Amino acid sequence: MVNFLQLKGARPAAAAAAAAALLLGGGAAVSAYWGTAGSGSGSQTAGQLQVLTTEALTQPASGQQPIAPGGVADAAVRVTNPNPYAVQLYSVASAGPATADAAHPQCVTTGITFQNPAAPLAPTATVPANASLTVVLPGAVAMDLTSDPGCQGASFRIPLTLEVRK
């Protein structure tokens, strides 16, 4: 036998419907659904990536000869990350023509080209937070046969663009 308690002010039809739902459902489970609607706004300021600096290392890699006309060499690039988080060096690309050092003014046509490695770099290179990392790009620098004779013994500046990702 089921006893119903009727609350003061409750509608008899609503109480009967609730009782029928309990009887038909076996009274084993009860579920409820609350819905609401609303609107609002929020804001947040994105952090800003500090500029990374690069430095090309002028010394040939251990066991490597200086570049000569018709030859290739590795590019060794030191990347300094001033950010408080690590970044992944995603790509390195040429950003203009190579120039010889000031001690070689007769080296007008350098013949130097930078061979952009495929992106993303493989293997990946992660520059730690507030640190530097030297990345060696095998065979990335070439010198063709158009180099001026005044380029002998010169060091070259190769402007590069780096793409990093957090």
pLDDT of residue 10: 45
pLDDT of residue 100: 92
Architecture of domain 53-165: Sandwich (2.60)
Q: What is the mean pLDDT of the chain?
A: 76
Q: Where are the domains of the chain?
A: 53-165
Tell whether the model's pLDDT for residue 119 goes beyond 80.
yes
Tell whether the model's pLDDT for residue 41 goes beyond 60.
no
Q: Compute the average pLDDT of residues 38-67.
A: 63
d(CA 68, CA 95): 22
| pTM, full prediction | 0.64
| 3 state SS of 158 | coil
- Length in residues, the chain: 166
